[in-house]
Amino acid sequence: MSQIDAVTARVGQPLAPIGLTPEALFEKCNALARNLWWSWQPEVINLFRDLDPIRWRQLDHNPIALLSEFTPERLEMRAAELVLFSRINHAYRRLKEYMSGPPTWGRTHVGVLGSRPVAYFSWEFGVHESVPIYSGGLGVLSGDHIKSASGLGVPLVAVGLFYDQGYFKQHLDIDGYQGEEYLNTKVENLPMEPARGPDGKPITVHIETRKSPLMAKVWLMRVGRVPLYLLDCDVKENRPEDRELTARLYGGDNRTRIRQELVAGVGGVRALKALGISPGVCHLNEGHSAFATLEAIREQMKDDGKSFDDALRDVARHTAFTTHTPVPAGHDRFDGGLIEEHLGPLRDELGISFEQLMGLGRVEPQNEHEPFCMTVLGLKLSRRANAVSSLHGHVSRRMWAHLWPWRVEEEIPIGHITNGVHVKSWLSHQMQQLYDRQFPADWTTRMGEPEVWQDIYRIDPGELWETHNTLKNLLLAFVRRRVSRQCRRRGESDEAVEAARNMLDPNVLTIGFGRRFATYKRADLIMTDMDRLTAMVADAKRPLQLLFAGKAHPADEPGKQLIKRIANLRHDPRFTGRIVFVEDYDINVCRHLIQGVDVWLNNPRRPLEASGTSGQKAVLNGALNLSVLDGWWAEAYDGANGFAIGKGTQHVNDAITDARDAQELYRVLEQEVIPLYYDRDIDGLPQHWIRRMMNSISSLAWRFSADRMVADYVRSAYLPAAGGLSCDMSVR
Ligand SMILES: *Cc1c(COP(=O)(O)O)cnc(C)c1O
């Protein structure tokens, strides 16, 4: 008998409210679990957690998996013990109201999008940790984008791939070396169902190639009001190797990649058509899905009898393209052989030559040595292109200037819309309750407005500090739990496990660093001078502790060595219990870190961080950013809302840049961050630090919210594209 059953047995048969059968109650819980709306509702999350807190954690916070362990009768008993009936009813009613569409921003701002929605294509979607079809920043951005589109009431449908093994789980071995484990996701535990066409039948899409055809089925996942359609090649009609095609995100070679991109782009457009959806705007979030444009051209030629050139012009007018990659090598490129094998049949229907097709993906169309680049295709076939921060806009215009050789750099038609984060997903419940007390009553529907956040200064500094420290304690408990489990799994001694259970001190300034372990992000910058780091960490009066997390791409050996170096610092007596590596960075680990740290550290080699969003999540919860002036921080930092490393200068080579940035990092820590944190008044409050937390929240939370971002996309990309206006996006 489980603990819960034992409790239930003691309480005896509970009485449900009249008219609510166990089955009806169960149905309501299932309805809540089957729309990812729940994932940004603290009350619904708490409801699921309360049903069985231990299993909830063990099941990766997956409510469908949790409910599958209940019968309606057992659920009813549990609900009775905890008096959950009214909470379940209330949550269910709120979901119904949300879905039936209360007045939203969208009602008055989306104009022509109302009749034909935006189709948003992305390679990964990071909506919640229990839906593992994302790896990192790009996915979480897409997830946040569609959540805000849902909240604002922007008519939008999202399209991507379903990866049934997702991205890998990270475990470090005893030497600190990263191991990768791929788990098969149980489809029945995910909030998705076969997508059905107007005739009610599940749809599949077919794609011819020169060698063998590909098929994909289509899933529907509900993310609030936004339907997310996911294509999946695991169908019996496919050849065995093709059934695995969409198994892994970022797995396989270039041939796997182009086949996946064929399914996402061409397959994605066909899926929408089969669903009876005709989008008015196509938004390609990064180049992976850019083949969608070719299929859209084919559709117009076939359905409307247009010429290739006319159809191309029309598709481009209705397409918006977002680039995310500031390094030339980071863009997908394919050789002519792969392109012809996979796009040959489509090319036949378009009536264009191989050279013409290749030209669409080349900077110099006639250059036979140039491969086909997806970003070039995206830029050529969209009339509106944007980078994801102001600085990234400059970098992108310079990088692609040769596509428009007749223009000066400032006139290259790539603008920027800076990334933002979905506030309700990243703001802790505790902070939200604090804000609820001082902010305008309707603030959660106006989070993209600056005025709303000015009320942060009305909050009592002591209360803000106390709330922050509550969250910090939760984070430290989470890390201790995780790390002691890691030690046990690796078969370490009982002393090691016990030490992990007792490490970390809530009174110590805590710095967090969580991100992909790509070498340009320089996780080890702070280890440039170990003596200086030791002096700070072990300072008797004003010590420091550091939390690290992040995955390296399976093929990135230098990234893995970096993880190993940092993870192994735990054996160094100078750092034991003060520098900690938390395994398996994902949305859950990220959420804990950004909600609980004092300082969020970001020190990439400028200008390689296109935007970055984790620091924006930290802002919402009162953490202060300590960052190189790169990506979003280059436009966010104002001298009083966080800390800057360096002045945004670039040096002649990486070695000099790294050395200078390390010096700057130490200087800021020693002279600004540490003194400010430990400067306490007679009540023990760091008044100047708290002031800076308030400055950070008031000046940044609204600007770097996904609501502001999506509203910007509506105004400067979607609406002009829907109207077919051919002016370029303004370069701001
Ligand atoms: C937010 C987030 C990211 C992106 O953070 P960056 O600041 O861009 O590095 C990556 N991974 C996860 C799991 C996240 O939640």
- Would you say 486 and 583 are in contact if contact means Cβ atoms under 8 Å apart? yes
Q: Are residues 605 and 528 in the same domain?
A: yes
Q: Which of 40, 614, 633 for a ligand 1 pocket mutation test, highest count of atoms within 8 Å of Cβ?
A: 614
Asked if residue 12 has pLDDT above 50, the reply is no
Compute CA distances 400 → 187, 389, 439, 520, 554, whole Å. Answer: 41, 16, 44, 21, 30
H or E element that contains 72:
helix 72-81
Nearest-atom number in ligand 1 for the CA of 516 is: 9
Among residues 73, 99, 125, which one ends one of the domains? 99
Q: Is residue 436 part of a domain?
A: no
Q: Are residues 73 and 130 in the same domain?
A: no
644-647: long-range pairs with CB below 8 Å, 24+ = 644/668, 645/603, 646/606
Close Cβ partners of 590 (under 8 Å, ≥ 6 residues apart):
140, 514, 549, 614, 617
Q: Whose CA is nearest to atom 8 of ligand 1?
A: 612
Query: What is this structure's pTM?
Result: 0.95
Q: Are residues 636 and 689 in the same domain?
A: yes
> CA nearest 299: which of 336, 346, 254, 333?
346
- Would you say 429 and 470 are in contact if contact means Cβ atoms under 8 Å apart? no
Asked if residue 500 has pLDDT above 60, the reply is yes
Asked if residue 451 has pLDDT above 80, the reply is yes
352-358: long-range pairs with CB below 8 Å, 24+ = 352/308
Q: Is residue 438 part of a domain?
A: no
Q: Are residues 318 and 367 in the same domain?
A: yes
Output the CA 126–ligand 1 centroid distance in Å: 10
**pLDDT digit string, tens, across residues 305-321:** 999 999 999 999 999 99
Q: Is residue 329 part of a domain?
A: yes
Q: Whose CA is nearest to atom 9 of ligand 1?
A: 515
> Which one-letter DSSP state was computed for residue 190?
S
Q: Which of 388, 590, 617 for a ligand 1 pocket mutation test, highest count of atoms within 8 Å of Cβ?
A: 590
> Environment class of residue 613 by beta-carbon count within 10 Å: exposed (0-12), middle (13-18) or buried (19+)?
buried
Angle at 560 between CA 555 and CA 564, to 5 degrees: 160
Residue 460, helix vs strand vs coil: coil
**pLDDT digit string, tens, across residues 587-628:** 999 999 999 999 999 999 999 999 999 999 999 999 999 999
Nearest-atom number in ligand 1 for the CA of 589 is: 13
Is the previous residue joined to 607 through a cis bond, with omega within 30 degrees of 0?
A: yes
Q: Is residue 399 part of a domain?
A: yes
> CA nearest 157: which of 220, 76, 69?
220
Nearest-atom number in ligand 1 for the CA of 602 is: 7
Q: How far apart are CA 645 and CA 670, in angstroms?
A: 12
Q: Are residues 471 and 550 in the same domain?
A: yes
What per-residue confidence (pLDDT) applies to 17? 63
Asked if residue 408 has pLDDT above 70, the reply is yes
Residue whose tokens read 């997390």: 549
Output the CA 82–ligand 1 centroid distance in Å: 36
Q: Whose CA is nearest to atom 6 of ligand 1?
A: 612
CATH number for 649: 3.40.50.2000
H or E element that contains 664:
helix 654-668
Tokens standing for 71? 């019968």
Close Cβ partners of 135 (under 8 Å, ≥ 6 residues apart):
124, 167, 249, 250, 516, 551
Residue whose tokens read 């994902």: 586
Q: Whose CA is nearest to atom 15 of ligand 1?
A: 587
Q: Whose CA is nearest to atom 11 of ligand 1?
A: 136
Q: How far apart are CA 253 and CA 555, in angstroms?
A: 11
Output the CA 606–ligand 1 centroid distance in Å: 18
Output the CA 698–ligand 1 centroid distance in Å: 22
Q: Whose CA is nearest to atom 4 of ligand 1?
A: 137
Alpha helix (H) ranges present in 305-351?
308-317, 336-350
Output the CA 139–ligand 1 centroid distance in Å: 9
Neighbour tally for 542: CB within 10 Å: 14
Angle at 394 between CA 393 and CA 400, to 5 degrees: 85
What per-residue confidence (pLDDT) applies to 327? 86
Output the CA 528–ligand 1 centroid distance in Å: 24
Q: Are residues 36 and 166 in the same domain?
A: no
Q: How far apart are CA 310 and CA 281, in angstroms?
A: 17
Give the amino acid at 581. F
Residue 150, helix vs strand vs coil: helix
**pLDDT digit string, tens, across residues 116-142:** 999 999 999 999 999 999 999 999 999
Q: Which of 140, 170, 426, 608 for a ligand 1 pocket mutation test, highest count of atoms within 8 Å of Cβ?
A: 140
Q: Are residues 541 and 669 in the same domain?
A: yes
**pLDDT digit string, tens, across residues 647-663:** 988 888 999 999 999 99
Q: Across the chain, what does the average pLDDT equal?
A: 94
Q: How far apart are CA 211 and CA 188, in angstroms?
A: 33
Output the CA 514–ligand 1 centroid distance in Å: 7
Output the CA 231–ligand 1 centroid distance in Å: 24
Q: Is residue 467 part of a domain?
A: yes
Asked if residue 581 has pLDDT above 90, the reply is yes
H or E element that contains 193:
strand 192-194
Give the amino acid at 287. G
Q: Whose CA is nearest to atom 5 of ligand 1?
A: 614
> Environment class of residue 169 by beta-carbon count within 10 Å: exposed (0-12), middle (13-18) or buried (19+)?
middle
Nearest-atom number in ligand 1 for the CA of 515 is: 9
Nearest-atom number in ligand 1 for the CA of 609 is: 8
Instruction: Please give the average per-residue pLDDT across 98-110, as a whole number.
Output: 85
Measured in whole angstroms, the distance separating CA 504 from the mean position of its chain's CA atoms is 28
User: What are the two backbone dihedrals, phi and then psi, of residue 600, each rounded to the nearest 5 degrees?
Assistant: -110, 120
Output the CA 612–ligand 1 centroid distance in Å: 7
- Would you say 26 and 70 are in contact if contact means Cβ atoms under 8 Å apart? yes
Output the CA 391–ligand 1 centroid distance in Å: 19
Output the CA 299–ligand 1 centroid distance in Å: 37
Nearest-atom number in ligand 1 for the CA of 611 is: 8
Q: How far apart are CA 490 and CA 181, in angstroms?
A: 15
Q: Which residues of 696-714 are buried (b: 16+ CB within 10 A; e: fewer)?
A: bbbbbbbbbbbbbbbbbbb
> Environment class of residue 399 by beta-carbon count within 10 Å: exposed (0-12), middle (13-18) or buried (19+)?
buried
Ligand 1 is surrounded, with C-beta below 6 A, by 136-137, 140, 515, 585-587, 590, 612-615, 617
Q: How far apart are CA 335 and CA 361, in angstroms?
A: 10
Nearest-atom number in ligand 1 for the CA of 612 is: 8
**pLDDT digit string, tens, across residues 429-442:** 999 999 999 999 99
- Bridge partners of 402, per DSSP, are none
> CA nearest 158: which of 235, 258, 263, 272?
272
Task: Give the pLDDT band (50/70/90) at residue 114.
Answer: confident
Q: Which of 388, 425, 515, 553 for a ligand 1 pocket mutation test, highest count of atoms within 8 Å of Cβ?
A: 515
Among residues 39, 74, 99, which one ends one of the domains? 99
Q: Whose CA is nearest to atom 3 of ligand 1?
A: 137
Q: Is residue 428 part of a domain?
A: no
Q: Whose CA is nearest to atom 12 of ligand 1?
A: 136
Q: How far apart are CA 281 and CA 206, in angstroms?
A: 23
Which residue segment(s) compose the domain that 564 sits in? 449-704
Tokens standing for 648? 């945004």
Residue whose tokens read 């849902």: 150
Output the CA 587–ligand 1 centroid distance in Å: 8
**How many Cα atoms within 13 Å fall on the side-chain side of residue 68?**
12
Q: Are residues 172 and 52 in the same domain?
A: no
Q: Are residues 60 and 147 in the same domain?
A: no
Tokens standing for 150? 């849902």
Output the CA 438–ligand 1 centroid distance in Å: 29
Q: Is residue 643 part of a domain?
A: yes
Q: Are residues 249 and 275 in the same domain?
A: yes
Q: Is residue 289 part of a domain?
A: yes
Nearest-atom number in ligand 1 for the CA of 590 is: 15
Output the CA 594–ligand 1 centroid distance in Å: 10
Close Cβ partners of 673 (under 8 Å, ≥ 6 residues apart):
509, 599, 624, 626, 643
Q: Whose CA is nearest to atom 2 of ligand 1?
A: 137
For the chain, what is the largest distance between any 2 Cα atoms, rounded to a whole number of angstroms? 81
- Please report the beta strands in 440-582, taking only residues with DSSP state E, as ranges in sequence order: 509-514, 544-549, 579-582
- Of the chain, the percentage scoring pLDDT greater than 90 comes to 90
Q: Are residues 372 and 510 in the same domain?
A: no
Q: How far apart are CA 367 and CA 72, in angstroms?
A: 66
Q: Are residues 403 and 475 in the same domain?
A: no
Output the CA 140–ligand 1 centroid distance in Å: 7
The 3-class secondary structure across 679-715, one letter per residue, is CCCCCCCCHHHHHHHHHHHHHHCCCCEHHHHHHHHHH
Output the CA 627–ligand 1 centroid distance in Å: 15
- Looking at the structure of the chain, the number of domains it has is 3
**pLDDT digit string, tens, across residues 672-725:** 999 999 999 999 999 999 999 999 999 999 999 999 999 999 999 999 999 865
